[in-house]
Amino acid sequence: MTEDERRAIEQDCERLIKHYVNLNDAQDWPAVAALYAEDARFARPSQPGVFIEGREAILSSFLARPGRAQRHVIANTVVDVEDADHARAFSVIVLYMGDAADDGGLPVQGPKSPLIGTFTDKLVRTRDGWRFAERVGGLDFRP
């Protein structure tokens, strides 16, 4: 693999991670789930040892959550390319959460906000592009 090919994979994978965060904040759950491989595994930062297995189950888990005002900030992303079809990534995440304001204005930030943690990802190239094969979250501080 050339340096240009490696850098292209890194960029594609980092874009996937950033796209995921934007779709998550928009609460576009079908689009979020579509970024996972069919047989992917996902563990939320609040439950890093509890895996949800398969794209459909991941979608169902997002659909079952009550809506909330939220904004994720992702940073310090490093992608390590294993080969032309596999990569790993590590990112730091900050999650701001809140409730809708009674007056229809800006949401009110919740008392457990922000949450600070990480995502460790296994990424795979599919016929549809790069997707998450495994996404494991973790928290760095208790709320």
**Per-run averaged pLDDT (10 residues), the chain, 143 residues:** 96 98 96 98 92 97 89 96 98 92 82 92 97 97 82
Exposure string of 88-106, with b = 16+ CB inside 10 Å and e = fewer, is bbebebebbbbeeeeeeee
How confident is the model at residue 120, as a pLDDT?
Answer: 98
Structure tokens at 93: 């995440």
- Using CA atoms, how far apart are residues 53 and 43, in angstroms rounded to an integer? 9
What integer pLDDT is reported at residue 127 of this predicted model? Answer: 95
Instruction: Parse the chain into domains and list their residue ranges.
Output: 3-139
> At 70, which amino acid appears?
Q
Q: Is CATH 3.10.450.50 the classification given to domain 3-139? A: yes
Contact call for residues 135 and 121 (beta carbons, < 8 A):
yes
> Residue 114: what pLDDT?
93
pTM, to two decimals: 0.91
Best CA proximity match to 112, nearest among 139, 73, 143, 141: 143
